[in-house]
């Protein structure tokens, strides 16, 4: 671990200050630091990682909800490029099922299971087989303003196949709002999953956070936790960052790796500023997560399930990743939430317990740890069809605030979830390096960094 309370950094006039110590902020910090620039990372919490943090009790590792790293995604690629060590494995689903009421349908994972499925009609099997072949090469440009629900109805109607497709796309995007979600976004994410599967990570996602900190620190970056930022202001000489303590820091550039509402507040944007207007209409996505550690699985082969008639997810992550001592199963159950549906978090917890009752009868007698997170933020902005999917998100540059750049799962035209954070962090870091090269002080190595 690193000294997270250190306030000693080489110079208050850093080339870059990163506000936010989550996955995106740390990727940007590591990339700029490895290019030889001075970097300071500020995080208001005591623990680094944001939603990628992992809680550890008695060697039991619990991520903040179920996390999976897409092997063909931007985050996986950047972590490898930054030489961050991590290990994991493909999910080990065992007898994976689809839940419809009390009925359990085998999850169609191959041609034979698809052909023998009792869930789908003959015609639906043929349509699904065709779609699975077409999706990897499908052009989605014309679907940016088409809702996922509209696309599914056009392809599959409204019966079990439509429900199965909604379930698949919900799994990939963590969004249960097919009426608003852009079909292009959902299909592009499905392509990534089909081309490379996912990894569950040994030790949880905190290993990524610790690894990124280590790589950035090796290159001279400094870190300050419990450092709440009050204001960020740009001028002709750079950017001023004022902390809630009253301390004032100067930098040549700033990356705000924070939620959109926080970015607007830090920049003191007027109500009619472009980012402020966008933030007011942005639709976030949330989930309720029930995580349990069990000393025994009563149905050891039942390790993965998705709801057909309800937006639930169940997975035994420890069947693949090293997350607990031998003999302890780490199980994560989740309900994808809609923003337009009134919520009772106690009723949702009961529903998630019901999923465990169905998948692991008698689980309560074997519980060694339990945690319920009723309103986890999945994404700060749902890429809607109305806004044009990816193209409707803000870019990393703020023309009205030169020297200030944005990063997060709500920024840029690439990826969703962690991949969006990573891709926007990469682009923001490239913008910073290009701007520093343009200034009077010569850049180390004289390399031009071109954003993707």
Summarised one tens digit per residue, pLDDT across range 153-200 is: 999 999 999 999 999 999 999 999 999 999 999 999 999 999 999 999
* pLDDT the model gives residue 7: 38
Give the pLDDT mean for 63-81: 97
Whether the CA torsion 158, 160, 163, 168 is positive or negative: it is: negative
184, 389 Cβ separation under 8 angstroms: yes
Q: How confident is the model at residue 208 (pLDDT cuts 50, 70, 90)?
A: very high
What percentage of the chain has pLDDT greater than the value 90? 88
Reported as a single tens digit per residue, the pLDDT across 220-277 is 999 999 999 999 999 888 999 999 999 999 999 999 999 999 999 999 999 999 999 9
* Residue 329 in this model has a pLDDT that exceeds 50: yes
Give the pLDDT mean for 307-318: 97
430, 449 Cβ separation under 8 angstroms: yes
444 or 283, greater pLDDT: 283
* pLDDT the model gives residue 114: 76
Taking alpha carbons only, the member of 220, 218, 216, 224 closest to residue 241 is 224
* pLDDT the model gives residue 235: 87
Q: How confident is the model at residue 13 (pLDDT cuts 50, 70, 90)?
A: confident
Taking alpha carbons only, the member of 70, 75, 196 closest to residue 136 is 196
* pLDDT the model gives residue 9: 36
* pLDDT the model gives residue 295: 98
* pLDDT the model gives residue 211: 98
Name the average pLDDT for the chain.
93
Residue with tokens 């090269």: 437
* Range in 6-15, 398-407, 443-452 the model is least confident about: 443-452
Give the pLDDT mean for 76-98: 96
Angle at 420 between CA 1 and CA 208, to 5 degrees: 15
* pLDDT the model gives residue 6: 39
* pLDDT the model gives residue 113: 75
Angle at 214 between CA 211 and CA 219, to 5 degrees: 135
Length of the chain in terms of residues written: 452
Pairwise CA distance, residues 171 & 339, whole Å:
17
Pairwise CA distance, residues 53 & 83, whole Å:
20
Which residues share a beta bridge with 235? Answer: 238
* pLDDT the model gives residue 448: 42
234, 12 Cβ separation under 8 angstroms: no
* pLDDT the model gives residue 116: 81
Distances (CA, A) of 263 to 1, 126, 254: 29, 48, 11
Pairwise CA distance, residues 251 & 242, whole Å:
11
* pLDDT the model gives residue 1: 35
Burial of 92 (0-12, 13-18, 19+ CB in 10 A): middle
Q: Which helix (H) or strand (E) holds 265?
A: helix 260-267
> Among the residues of 100-258, which ranges form H helices?
111-116, 122-134, 148-156, 160-173, 183-196, 206-218
Reported as a single tens digit per residue, the pLDDT across 378-429 is 999 999 999 999 999 999 999 889 999 999 999 999 999 999 999 999 999 9
* Residue 314 in this model has a pLDDT that exceeds 60: yes
Q: How confident is the model at residue 115 (pLDDT cuts 50, 70, 90)?
A: confident
Whole-model pTM: value is: 0.92
Pairwise CA distance, residues 162 & 168, whole Å:
10
CA 323 to chain centre: 19
Kindly state the tokens that stand for 106: 């085998």
* Residue 343 in this model has a pLDDT that exceeds 70: yes
Whether the CA torsion 100, 106, 111, 116 is positive or negative: it is: negative
């Amino acid at each position: 671990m690193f000294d997270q309370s250190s306030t000693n950094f080489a110079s208050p006039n850093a080339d870059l200050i990163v506000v936010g110590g989550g996955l995106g902020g740390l990727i940007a910090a590591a990339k700029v630091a490895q290019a030889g620039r001075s970097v300071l990372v500020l995080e208001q919490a005591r623990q680094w990682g944001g939603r990628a943090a992992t809680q550890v009790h008695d060697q039991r590792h619990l991520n903040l909800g179920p996390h999976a790293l897409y092997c063909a995604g931007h985050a996986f690629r950047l972590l490898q490029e930054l030489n961050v060590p991590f290990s994991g494995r493909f999910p080990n689903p065992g007898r994976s099922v689809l839940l419809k009421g009390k009925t359990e349908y085998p999850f169609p994972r191959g041609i034979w299971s698809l052909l023998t499925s009792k869930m789908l009609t003959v015609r639906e099997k043929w349509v699904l087989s065709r779609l699975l072949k077409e999706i990897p090469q499908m052009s989605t440009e014309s679907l940016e303003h088409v809702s996922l629900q509209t696309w599914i109805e056009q392809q599959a109607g409204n019966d079990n196949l439509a429900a199965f497709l909604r379930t698949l796309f919900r799994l990939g995007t963590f969004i249960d709002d097919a009426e608003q979600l852009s079909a292009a976004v959902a299909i592009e994410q499905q392509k990534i999953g089909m081309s490379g599967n996912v990894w569950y990570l040994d030790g949880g996602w905190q290993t990524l956070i610790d690894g990124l900190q280590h790589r950035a620190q090796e290159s001279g970056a400094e870190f300050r936790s419990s450092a709440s930022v009050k204001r960020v202001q740009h001028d002709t000489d750079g950017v001023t960052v004022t902390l809630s303590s009253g301390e004032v820091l100067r930098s040549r550039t700033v990356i705000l790796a924070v939620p959109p509402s926080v970015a607007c507040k830090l920049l003191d944007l007027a109500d009619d500023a472009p980012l402020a207007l966008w933030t007011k209409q942005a639709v976030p996505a949330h989930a309720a997560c029930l995580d349990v550690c069990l000393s025994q699985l009563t149905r050891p082969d039942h390790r993965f399930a998705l709801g057909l008639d309800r937006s639930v997810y169940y997975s035994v992550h420890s069947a693949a990743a090293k997350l607990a001592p031998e003999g302890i199963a780490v199980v994560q159950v989740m309900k994808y939430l809609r923003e337009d549906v009134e919520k009772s978090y106690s009723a949702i917890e009961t529903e998630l317990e019901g999923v465990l009752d169905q998948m692991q009868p008698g689980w309560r007698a074997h519980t060694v740890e339990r945690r319920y997170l009723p309103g986890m933020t999945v994404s700060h902005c749902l890429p809607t069809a109305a806004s044009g999917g990816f193209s409707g998100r803000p870019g990393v540059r703020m023309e009205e605030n030169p020297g200030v750049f944005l990063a997060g799962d709500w920024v840029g035209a690439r990826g969703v979830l962690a991949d969006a954070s990573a891709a926007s962090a990469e682009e923001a870091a490239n913008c910073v390096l290009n701007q520093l090269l343009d200034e009077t002080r010569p850049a180390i190595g004289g390399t031009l960094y071109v954003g993707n």
